[in-house]
């Protein structure tokens, strides 16, 4: 007797792939408020959402044990910090991603190293951690070394402030996200800052008087180091990682330089409204240095 297998059970069974190696991959990423658009994308689907859901329901689950990326490149166009979108390029990307499942069922682990291109210098980036289904839970460690401050300027400095012409930034950040609640701690070191010619006595850098920053650098081996913390609900539409990070670094710098956070947030008016509101609750005892991801942003 011939046994005919249940075709539906075969189609809905789990497909396991041991490993995939991708040589010289390239991705272009457009970041908009609350959304990342990736080209090329393996997840975009044509048609209505209902049709996509029906397709996903009937498709077999896929689990890839390891995806390895070698000598990759990524260009990020970030429309959340400037118009036109600010461009950041990473090259020589070496990455290993483990336990990738579609649909997502458990933790996906990642380990990435890359060169961050800059106008004056190239820096290094290392990112490790894991992310759970729907990105409600995650854990990450981010280390940036000697990244060009000119490349990072749109994330930290407002358009009407003193512009940086040279400098580097080191960052070490550990962050944990549980049920969309972000808890991060880190340290940032800004070194060898040089500014464009001043436009007046009231020029500021991250809300702090430019002259005070220059004076502090001269007395502290041309470096400012800041410890800081990040907290927030990443699932809240009003939460802005850009604002939170720049606010906390600015407040930490104000504490180092002995400048009142009231002057930074209100008198100089360089922090975004959400950032100013967040500064009051998070930066307590601004006279001391800070107590900073990367919780994932929702697509």
Quote the DSSP letter at residue 22. E
Q: Which of 187, 157, 156 is nearest to 171 (CA)?
A: 187
In angstroms and rounded to an integer, the radius of gyration of the C-alpha atoms of the chain is 22
The model's pLDDT over 68-78, given as tens digits with 9 standing for 90+, comes to 999 999 999 98
Whether residue 180 lies inside any domain: the answer is yes
Give the per-residue pLDDT at 73.
94
CA distance 254 to 23: 45
CA distance 224 to 218: 10
Domain carrying residue 160: 23-45+60-282
Whether residue 136 lies inside any domain: the answer is yes
Structurally, the chain folds into a number of domains equal to 1
**Number of helices and strands in the chain (H, E):** 7, 13
Q: What is the mean pLDDT of residues 20-24?
A: 93
Give the per-residue pLDDT at 243.
65
Q: Which of 181, 119, 182 is nearest to 151 (CA)?
A: 119
Give the per-residue pLDDT at 54.
54
Give the per-residue pLDDT at 152.
87
CB atoms within 10 A of CB 36: 14
| Token digits of residue 212 | 């005070």
Whether residue 217 lies inside any domain: the answer is yes
DSSP per residue, 106-147: S-EEEEEEEEE--SS--EEEEEEEEE-GGGSSEEEEEEEEEE
The model's pLDDT over 223-250, given as tens digits with 9 standing for 90+, comes to 988 888 888 887 776 666 666 677 777 7
Average pLDDT over all residues of the chain: 75
Least confident of 34-43, 50-59, 148-157, 249-258: 50-59
Whether residue 278 lies inside any domain: the answer is yes
CA distance 282 to 246: 13
Instruction: Give whichever of 37-41, 98-102, 143-147, 226-230 has the largest mean pLDDT.
Output: 143-147
| Token digits of residue 117 | 């291109």
Which parts of the chain fold into alpha helices (H)? 7-11, 49-58, 149-156, 210-219, 241-257, 261-262, 273-282
Q: Which helix (H) or strand (E) holds 233?
A: strand 223-233
Residues 91, 191, 175, 68, Cα dihedral to 10°: 20
What proportions of the chain, in percent to the nearest 5, are helix, strand and coil? 25, 45, 35
Whether residue 185 lies inside any domain: the answer is yes
| Token digits of residue 208 | 């702090």
Question: Which region, left, alpha or beta, applies to residue 280 given φ > 0 means left and ψ of -120 to 50 means alpha?
Answer: alpha
Report helix angle 149-156 to 241-257, nearest 10. Answer: 100
């Amino acid at each position: 007797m011939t046994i005919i297998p249940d075709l539906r059970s075969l189609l809905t069974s789990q497909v396991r792939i041991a490993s995939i190696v991708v040589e010289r991959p390239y991705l272009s990423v457009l970041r908009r408020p609350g959304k990342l658009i990736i080209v090329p994308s393996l997840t975009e689907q044509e048609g209505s959402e209902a049709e996509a859901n029906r397709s996903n329901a009937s498709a077999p689950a896929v689990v890839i044990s390891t995806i390895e990326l070698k000598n990759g490149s990524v260009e990020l166009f970030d429309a959340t910090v400037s118009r036109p979108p600010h461009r950041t390029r990473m090259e020589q990307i070496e990455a290993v991603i483990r336990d990738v499942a579609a649909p997502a069922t458990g933790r996906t682990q990642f380990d990435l190293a890359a060169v961050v291109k800059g106008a004056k210098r190239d820096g290094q980036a290392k990112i490790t951690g894991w992310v759970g289904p729907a990105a409600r839970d995650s854990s990450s460690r981010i280390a940036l070394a000697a990244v060009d401050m000119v490349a990072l300027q749109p994330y930290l400095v407002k358009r009407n402030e003193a512009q940086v012409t040279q400098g580097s930034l080191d960052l070490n950040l550990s962050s944990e996200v549980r049920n969309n609640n972000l808890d991060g701690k880190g340290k940032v070191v800004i070194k060898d800052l040089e500014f464009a010619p001043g436009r007046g006595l009231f020029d500021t850098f991250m809300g702090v008087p430019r002259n005070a920053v220059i004076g502090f650098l001269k007395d502290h081996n041309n470096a400012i180091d800041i410890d800081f913390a990040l907290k927030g609900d990443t699932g809240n539409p009003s939460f802005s990682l850009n604002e939170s990070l720049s606010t906390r670094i600015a407040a930490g710098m104000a504490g180092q330089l002995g400048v009142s956070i009231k002057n930074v947030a209100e008198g100089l008016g360089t922090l975004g409204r959400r950032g100013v509101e967040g500064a009051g609750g998070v930066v307590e005892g601004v006279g001391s240095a800070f107590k900073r991801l990367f919780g994932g942003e929702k697509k």
